[in-house]
Amino acid sequence: MDCRVAENLVDNYIDGTLRGKELESFLKHIENCPSCYEELETYYIVHEATKQLDEEEDHLNFDMMGLLEEDIRERKIEIGRERWLNYFSFGISGVVIIAFAYFLAHVVFPWI
Ligand SMILES: [Zn+2]
């Protein structure tokens, strides 16, 4: 992923529509590219500040950079969970296919 692509994805990261593999390569780029990280940080701070003002929270959290780091950490956990879920559902569909093949072979066409 190059910087132009990463910059275009900043909005999607912030509104939470960036997912899966795209999110993963975005995070990888951000970690190795200080200028894109800064770009994300700027957008994130603006977004968080507006959100907190909208919600009229009792105490504003001004540790925006800490919030972004926390957010990135959570997204990574989410990626790991999604990947695990993919393997899991892949495994399940494998079992279903085998069970179906077994069913066909022994119940529907027992003479095969
Ligand atoms: Zn970059």
Distance 109 CA to ligand 1 centre (A): 59
How high is the pLDDT of residue 63? Answer: 79
Can you give the pLDDT at residue 67? 86
Find, among 27, 67, 74, 38, the residue nearest to 51 by Cα.
67
Most confident of 30-39, 60-69, 82-91: 30-39
Decide if pLDDT at 110 tops 90.
Answer: no
Instruction: Report residues near ion ligand 1: CB below 5 Å.
Output: 3, 6, 33, 36
Segment 71-83, tens digit of pLDDT: 999 999 988 888 8
Q: State the distance from the centre of ligand 1 to the C-alpha of 30, rounded, in angstroms.
A: 6
CA of 3: how far to CAs of 27, 31, 69, in Å?
A: 12, 12, 20
Question: Distance, CA 19 to ligand 1 centroid (Å)?
Answer: 18
Range(s) of the domain holding residue 96: 3-108
> Into how many domains does the chain fold?
1
0.95 surpassed by pTM: no
Whether the CB-CB separation of 20 and 82 falls below 8 Å is answered with yes
Q: What is the SS3 assignment for 1?
A: coil
pLDDT digits (tens, 9 = 90+) for 8-55: 999 999 999 998 889 999 999 999 999 999 999 999 999 988 887 777
Residue 42 Cα to ligand 1 middle (Å) = 14
